[in-house]
Amino acid sequence: MSKLKVGIIFGGVFEEHPVSVKSAQEVAKHLDADRYETYWIGITKSGDWRLCDGPAASWEDGAHRPVVLSPDRSVHGLLVLADGHYETIRLDVVLPVLHGKLGEDGATQGLLELSGIPYVGCDVQSSALCMDKSLAYTVVADAGIRTPTFWTLFPGDTVQTVGDPGVLPYPVFVKPARSGSSFGVSKVTSAAELDEAVATARQYDDKVLIEEGVVAEEIGCAILGNGSDLITGEVDHVALSHGFFKIHQEDAPETGSENATFIVPADIPAEARELVKAEAQRVYRALGCRGLARVDMFLKADGTVVLNEVNTLPGLTSYSRYPRMMAAAGISMTEFLDRAVALALEETAR
């Protein structure tokens, strides 16, 4: 049987570039070489697309050729440039191993839709919805799912736009509406800290959320599947020693978080785990997700589940939560990748 030709896109121009490279390195270790013929497409921090040998730490310095993903459906793949000419490589499927802006916000997905190539993960609409926390909260709340109370600052707005800062339910969290891995997030305990926190958030996005600090445990749920046929990994619990959870921002994240321990399966009652799974699936469907996503929730002391956020292309590094949750449910990284590719092809065949 001939191998599937898989294009794997990694890197990117925004702050999650290093995380994407590490995720791609983990994919390279576990993707079944007997089933797939891989084409590695690295996006440099300056936005150059390069066909390379893989996501080694020094991939940008190695041999490579300029490449683009053709939006022409008759090409159905890559245009590789060399000496003023180009050759085409037809792809069967694309696996975007991209995080954050222009990776999981619908931009790359739109290019893949134009190309006609099946791709792993959420479509344009659900990617864009999940990336914008204010839109995700609005859609999910309309479906009857609990969300934090939040206020939105649009470009040009000041903190006074949402009313008297002195009466906000402190502590609150100020965060970019469209960013990931807690970049630009601040915990604010008084009105005097708001302006600086908003300025920090606006380094990553000009649309900013002020969000109530939900007093609860942080719980995650990994989901894999399309439509009503969904698989959930074991629920995890982010147990904090101090501060708030900032993933991927430690100096050496491979050695562990500086303030968090990940407990999988979560050390919560069995009925609470099942409730979290059920609510996470409701969120996944309400936002139109497909393929995979990690749904992060808050579990309050009274058993109430509240949405935190949805990551449509969660980290796949050696220390990431999604693969750990799947592994705890008996699904290895290799099996997860096989299933994710199969789901992409299945969606296109409908």
Catalytic residue among 60, 113, 181, 258: 181
207 labelled binding-site residue: no
Please tell me whether 217 is known to bind a ligand. yes
SS (H, E, C) the chain: CCCEEEEEEEECCCCCHHHHHHHHHHHHHHCCCCCEEEEEEEECCCCCEEEECCCCCCHHHCCEEEEEECCCCCCCEEEEEECCEEEEEECCEEEEECCCCCCCCCHHHHHHHHHCCCECCCCHHHHHHHHCHHHHHHHHHHCCCCCCCEEEECCCCCHHHHCCHHHCCCCEEEEECCCCCCCCCEEECCHHHHHHHHHHHCCCCCCEEEEECCCCEEEEEEEEEECCEEEECCCEEEEECCCCCCCCCCCCHHHCCCCEEEECCCCCCHHHHHHHHHHHHHHHHHCCCCEEEEEEEEECCCCCEEEEEEECCCCCCCCCHHHHHHHHCCCCHHHHHHHHHHHHHHHHHC
Does 296 appear as a known binding residue?
A: yes
- Active-site pick, 20, 23, 134, 320: 320
User: Residue 309, annotated ligand binder?
Assistant: yes
Q: Is 257 a catalytic residue?
A: no
Is 127 one of the annotated active-site residues of the chain?
A: no
Q: Is 259 annotated as a binding residue?
A: no
Q: Is position 3 annotated in a ligand binding site? A: no
Residue 193 assigned to a binding site: no
300 is in an annotated binding site: no
Is 246 known to sit in a ligand binding site?
no
Residue 26 is labelled as binding a ligand: no
**83 a known binding residue?**
no
Q: Is 74 annotated as ligand-binding?
A: no
* 2 appears as a binding residue in the annotation: no
The catalytic residue among 15, 16, 26, 279 is 16
Does 181 qualify as catalytic in the annotation? yes
Which amino acids are annotated catalytic? 16, 181, 320
Residues at the annotated binding site? 133, 173-175, 181-182, 211-218, 296, 308-309, 311
Residues at the annotated binding site for Mg(2+)? 296, 309, 311
Residues at the annotated binding site for ATP? 133, 173-175, 181-182, 211-218, 308-309
